[in-house]
Structure 1
Amino acid sequence: MRTLWSKLKDDFQLSMITLVGLLAIVGITPYAVYRLGEGSWLVGATDTFLVVSSLLAVLYAWRSGDTIRPGQFLALIYSVGAFLVAAKLGVNGLFWMYVLILFNFFVVPPLQSLVATMSTLIAICAYGWLHPEQVFASRYQMASFVVTCLLCGLFAFVFAFRGRVQRRQLSRLATLDPLTGVGNRRTMDSELDIAIADSRRYDLNFGLLVLDLDHFKQVNDQFGHAAGDQVLVRFVAAVRDVCRPSDRLFRLGGEEFVLLVPKADDASLQTIARHIQQRVREQLRRPDGAPVTVSIGGSLLMGRQNRDNWLKVADENMYEAKRAGRDQTVIRSY
């Protein structure tokens, strides 16, 4: 139960699909039973289809981790269902349009929500125009319905758009280092766990490099933290220049960084470390013109190591490189 609750807290889209799906099941099922018992077969069958589809979409989202396609699927069938209910029940079925608007803008991207909502609204109004008094009692009632739906859709669109932007910003703050733009400690822990799992499942080799700028405290003390921040930003750019697209760089803290290298062996780790040190030595300068250097410790993922042991070995090798005179590389696995 704790795992399920944690998954819902961490995945907004999954939580919304689950909530909406369960509410649809609880809310629509009584209507389906009532209408089937009353002999209203088309509406009852539509309600039943919506309930079953909601259940299947929620189950698919949980099993696959994909929340985009279930949301789009539900938006489609709910839009069709809203049209059929309005066409069959008339005014009494129009109220479901407002529920559909809220659902669409919560579960699928705003632009797709807008298309689905407007398409359903146009279809209902076109049917009502072609069949006078079957859906709307008058043209005035239809105009009022259109205006209220548009206002509700506008408010929902603004809210959904702003909410999506804010969630994206929060996700960026939670996973990236704000100064350098590389992954933070939280992201690194997750990526290392994934690498260990992939190594065990697919027999893949991964290497780890811990990079620590030499005498970085002197830069902050002599020239200020702003100068130190610029050195860190340029250091990240230099490391990325010599890395492969598959390599992942993280900021462990302060002037210490971690580079995750897939498909690695001792020779490739040595080569990458040498290229990094050469690029840093050639391109990075302190404000007084002195070159910036970096000490590197590395380790291959061996056997059934866990994340902490793997990182500890690489970190110890980095300190050994420091003791060896700095601007050195020590790569050793245990």
Structure 2
Amino acid sequence: MSHMHNIWMRLKDDFQLSIITLVGLCSLIGITPYTVYRLLEGNMLVGLVDAFIVCSTALAVLYAWKTGNTLRPGQFLAVVYSMGTFLVATKLGVNGLFWFYTLILFNFFVVPPLQSAVATFCSLLAICAYGYLNPEAVFESHYQMTSFIVTCLIASFFAFVFAYRGRRQRLQLVELATLDPLTLVGNRRAMDSELEIALGEHQRYGTRFGILVLDLDLFKDVNDCHGHKAGDRILIDFTGIIKQSCRQSDRLFRMGGEEFVLLLPKLSRSGLEKAARHVRTSVAEQLKSPGGPVTVSIGGCMLDQHPSVDAWMHEADICLYQAKEGGRNQYVISPQHELAHEPQQCPEPIAVAPGQG
């Protein structure tokens, strides 16, 4: 039951994966009977082409589910279906041309609109060139070929417009769902997802991750004395400073208010401490408010043997609390340890005062 729920959630959350999966089911149900029929009738080439399309679709769907990458399987299927439709049309003549309308819809659903337009145009160009060089092999007349080209181009145009608009709207919805509207960094939803992915990578491949929980010091005083507009400006400037201070692979999220989380992949505990020192120094030197400099307190923790994201975050939060209690404008990094089975207990941290950073 849990496995079926996970499958349903992946289909619900990943539009492209759901489309490729649907294409796989339609291919199995719709093309397989044609494959069997044509092989029994002795039409071996068309039957083998249909069988290849079905098998290729199944492999592409499995690859998409296993890796989470839907672009490459979509591109692969667009090429396979375009070539297969061309071959079927050359062998079945006018009866095979109807598959081009299905191909148009398919291409514009599984790959980006521009790539879809190129694949579809190449298929149409190939079948028209073949029909022109082989009179009556595919088209009964030039008038029929012209009508076919015009109707396919009109269908492609409308499919392109629909796919382009739909793709832009999906991207906008993803941004609204995963980005903080003020700072344009990841929000709490995006953070939860990324931390779960990090935990999975660590458990499967041993990839090391660290997190820094960042909290601006005395931020409420800024809002109270200078207004929320000044506070918003500080939050925007703060995220800009953090991005400049980090690697391209590091991910910044806003948990809420003035609290942020920085996810750092592929580094050691000493690297996490170095990153915390650099962030603290950069903020202290560069972040200004109408009332003067603004500082940040930081709690850090390596993923290591933590059994869950909650345990990982809990230890980092305790370190942040100790940095605040220690006088602010400093970082506290949890020392490396062998086991972290009890998230309610945080090992005695190493605190670094401002003068030591």
TM superposition score normalised by structure 2: 0.85
Q: Aligned pair 1:300/2:302, yes or no?
A: yes
Deviation string 1:27-83 (CA, Å, 9 cap, x unpaired) is 112222222333333323322222222223222322333322322222222212222
Find the residue that maps to 1:212 and give its secondary structure. Answer: strand
Deviation string 1:282-320 (CA, Å, 9 cap, x unpaired) is 222222x32212122223335334211221222122223
Q: Give the C-alpha shift of residue 151 in structure 1.
A: 0.2
Q: Aligned pair 1:235/2:238, yes or no?
A: yes
Distance 1:19 1:198 in 2: 28
Aligned length: 332
Q: Aligned pair 1:76/2:79, yes or no?
A: yes
Match of 1:153 in 2: 156
Distance 1:246 1:105 in 2: 31
Distance 1:55 1:261, change over 3 A: closer
Match of 2:341 in 1: none
Match of 2:180 in 1: 177
Distance 1:41 1:274 in 2: 69
Q: Which runs of structure 1 show a deviation greater than 6 angstroms over 4 or more consecutive aligned residues?
A: none
Q: Aligned pair 1:328/2:340, yes or no?
A: no
Deviation string 1:240-260 (CA, Å, 9 cap, x unpaired) is 333333433221111001122
Report matched runs for 1:268-307 at 5 Å.
268-287=271-290, 289-307=291-309
Q: Give the C-alpha shift of residue 155 in structure 1.
A: 0.7
Distance 1:197 1:28, change over 3 A: closer
Match of 2:342 in 1: none
Distance 2:32 2:250 in 1: 51
Match of 2:55 in 1: 52
Identical residues among aligned pairs (%)? 63
TM superposition score normalised by structure 1: 0.90
Larger displacement relative to structure 2 (188-197 or 8-17): 188-197
Distance 1:58 1:205, change over 3 A: closer
1:249 corresponds, among 235, 252, 259, to 252
Structure 1 residues without counterparts, runs of 5 or longer: none
Q: Give the C-alpha shift of residue 98 in structure 1.
A: 0.3
Distance 1:331 1:246 in 2: 21
2:268 corresponds, among 258, 264, 268, to 264
Distance 1:47 1:145 in 2: 23
Q: Give the C-alpha shift of residue 269 in structure 1.
A: 4.0
Match of 1:101 in 2: 104
Q: Give the C-alpha shift of residue 15 in structure 1.
A: 1.2
Amino acid of the residue matched to residue 293 of structure 1? T
Distance 2:68 2:209 in 1: 26
Q: Aligned pair 1:318/2:348, yes or no?
A: no
2:166 corresponds, among 159, 163, 166, to 163
